[in-house]
Amino acid sequence: MINKWNFQTPTEEELHKRDALAAEIGFSPVICLLLVQRGITTAEEARKFFKPNLNDLHDPFLMPDMDKAVKRLNRALGNKEKILVYGDYDVDGTTAVSLVYKYLRPYSSTLDYYIPDRYDEGYGISYKGIDYASDNGVTLIISLDCGIKAIEKIEYAKTKGIDFIICDHHMPDDTLPDAVAVLDAKRVDSIYPYEHLSGCGVGFKFMQAFAKSNNFPFSELEKLLELTAVSIASDIVPITGENRILAYYGLKQLNSNPSLGLKGIIDICGLTGKEITISDIVFKIGPRINASGRMMNGKEAVDLLLAKDVESAREKSENINQYNDERRELDKKITDEANAIIDEFANMEDRKAIIVYNPGWHKGVIGIVASRLTEKYYRPAVVLTKSSELITGSARSVTGFDIYKAIENCRDLLENFGGHTYAAGLSLKEENLDEFTERFLKLAADEIIPEQMIPQIDIDAVLDLKDINTKFMSELKKMNPFGPDNQKPVFCSLNVKDYGTSKLVGKELEHIKLELIDDKSNTPIHGIAFGMHQHSPHIKGMKPFNICYTIEENTYNGNTTLQLMVKDIKVDDI
């Protein structure tokens, strides 16, 4: 599929602000333009961006119901009530449970945690989980990363004498559950200044408020920010505002003194001794934590994150790594089967969305498969399987199409649904599948324009190769942590050529290891273009071409060099 390159052309006002900022802070004009495009136009704003400050975290009591939540928790601890920390089985849920449980553990000897089984109980609060709490004398459940729509479940819990404090970050309905407190910055009545917290982030704010109410030092809570960083990266929430502060200090903790459980995962996925980034969490740490809930039970991930000794952490990390290997194999198998179904679709080029169903597919990986289909076909994808008596599914979207709203428009056909703009989950009865498919596909057909089905690469700036040096990289790294709404900048260089030493690499010679020059520099810069072997004849022919890329540091045998991570090559636009 051919990518469309979108060049971010600065306005006259942006150029003026860029020059003023460059004169003030002494950074390169390119970096200053990137800052201006992120709304940073003064030296003071740049300082806050480069060095986030924990003092800038918002007052947690600005969140609706926070005072009620803290009051109920204090009462439960004072009365030595049994408390159950309950969370979803994905990375956000398991890190949230780990954070709250770790922080409250010194203040309670009657604390327990619970992760529902993906296959037996499904997403969110379950009747089985409430029965478990009741059987064990629990009188307060703190739910994390779930519960915002659990109206009937909360009513059921009340008949058992169990109170709920809900900590969630998903979109609420018009009616909230009748819990003691519902903490969600997306509530329509919320005045909380930042609405993009992860589920673990909401749990952190609850613990921050609890600590504040009891005059406990913030330092003990700060140690747990590594968990918020993992959740923020894995749940793909914007890394702006408060999330940027939490992620920044969480990464510092992860790199300097990680807990035994996270150190076990860091070791098992080959990150020991390397500077861990948001990207490492997204592609290495997060999937391993997720694999526990996908393949077995998410409680194992919490057991690991709470590990108290090195040997236990090592053993649990190896188990989770094994689950991840099994998940990979299953993911590939089901993706191949889904692609085979799509190959049979008539007029695929005219379809605006994809829905595939196989009752035998493994429920734990259908979300990953939906992501792969969206990536390959650049259309919204819904992947469905059978779980107990219901069809259950995961959906992923493309830029500009709100898949949560599309699914919400079919809510009369659904048993349950939830999610975000670009990712959602749903369940329905089998007799409603045909009508759901027809209605969803029509919604997509009516709303999606052809341009949305073409992969886009947004290019932040055009660089000469000579501009890429250690000083530039040092300035660029200050913009970390990168993520949604502060994406790693993508640069473009025009009319570059092979230095004469570029070559094909990989088992099947599918990648190109590049050494490039341009008209303004004869010193080659290294790059890697994964899966772009088809351009090799043009490149080896010493003909000019255009590239877009991100810039990384590559350390090998103690030597660090700059490397272009090539996202696309164009040979026809020269």
- Residue 573 has a pLDDT of 61
* Separation CA 291–CA 286 (nearest Å): 9
Task: Give the closest residue to 366 by CA, choosing from 354, 378, 350.
Answer: 354
Residue 9, both tokens: 């052309």
Q: Are residues 32 and 66 in the same domain?
A: no
Answer whether residue 235 is part of any domain. no
- Residue 560 has a pLDDT of 83
Q: Are residues 389 and 426 in the same domain?
A: yes
Asked if the model's pLDDT at residue 464 lies above 60, the reply is yes
Asked if the model's pLDDT at residue 574 lies above 60, the reply is no
Cβ(229)–Cβ(95) under 8 Å? no
Structural domain that includes position 363: 344-450
Q: Are residues 445 and 482 in the same domain?
A: no
Report the CATH number at residue 352.
3.10.310.30
Q: Which helix (H) or strand (E) holds 83?
A: strand 82-87
Q: Are residues 72 and 213 in the same domain?
A: yes
Report the CATH number at residue 503.
2.40.50.460
Task: Give the closest residue to 164 by CA, choosing from 137, 136, 201, 139.
Answer: 139
Mean pLDDT of 497-519: 94
Q: Are residues 73 and 94 in the same domain?
A: yes
Q: Are residues 515 and 390 in the same domain?
A: no
DSSP annotation of 486: B
Residue 537, both tokens: 């004849």
Residue at token pair 């020991």: 272
Answer whether residue 150 is part of any domain. yes
Q: Are residues 363 and 512 in the same domain?
A: no
Q: What tens digit of pLDDT does each residue of 472-504 get?
A: 999 999 999 999 899 999 999 999 999 999 999
Q: Are residues 206 and 159 in the same domain?
A: yes
Asked if the model's pLDDT at residue 389 lies above 90, the reply is no
Q: Which residues contact 266 (CB under 8 A, 6 or more apart)?
A: 254, 258, 272, 276, 285
Answer whether residue 412 is part of any domain. yes
Cβ-in-10-Å burial (0-12, 13-18, 19+) of 58 comes to: middle
Residues above pLDDT 90, as percent of the chain: 86
Cβ count within 10 A of residue 127: 12
Q: Which helix (H) or strand (E) holds 419?
A: strand 414-419
- Residue 301 has a pLDDT of 94
Domain endpoint, select from 400, 422, 450: 450
Answer whether residue 244 is part of any domain. no
Mean pLDDT of 146-154: 95
Q: How confident is the model at residue 120 (pLDDT cuts 50, 70, 90)?
A: confident
Q: How confident is the model at residue 261 (pLDDT cuts 50, 70, 90)?
A: very high
- Residue 525 has a pLDDT of 95
Answer whether residue 228 is part of any domain. no
Residues above pLDDT 70, as percent of the chain: 99
Q: Are residues 506 and 557 in the same domain?
A: yes
Domain endpoint, select from 206, 221, 236: 221
Asked if the model's pLDDT at residue 1 lies above 70, the reply is no
Q: Are residues 208 and 80 in the same domain?
A: yes
Cα–Cα–Cα angle for 308, 197, 166, nearest 5°? 75
* Separation CA 250–CA 288 (nearest Å): 18
Answer whether residue 278 is part of any domain. no
Domain endpoint, select from 417, 450, 483: 450
Answer whether residue 102 is part of any domain. yes
- Residue 399 has a pLDDT of 86
Paired with 166 in beta bridges are: 143, 182
Mean pLDDT of 354-372: 94
Q: What tens digit of pLDDT does each residue of 70-85 get?
A: 999 999 999 999 999 9
- Residue 289 has a pLDDT of 94
- Residue 58 has a pLDDT of 98
Paired with 388 in beta bridges are: none
Task: Give the closest residue to 221 by CA, choosing from 239, 243, 203.
Answer: 203
The number of distinct structural domains making up the chain is 4
H helical segments located in 421-516 = 433-447, 470-477
Residue 225, both tokens: 């920010």
Answer whether residue 283 is part of any domain. no
Q: Are residues 508 and 558 in the same domain?
A: yes
Report the CATH number at residue 63.
3.90.1640.30
Asked if the model's pLDDT at residue 563 lies above 70, the reply is yes
Q: Are residues 168 and 130 in the same domain?
A: yes
Backbone angles phi, psi at 140, to 5 degrees: -140, 125
Q: Which amino acid does the sequence have at 100? A: V
Alpha-carbon separation of residue 461 from 4, 430, 466, 491 (angstroms): 15, 50, 14, 5
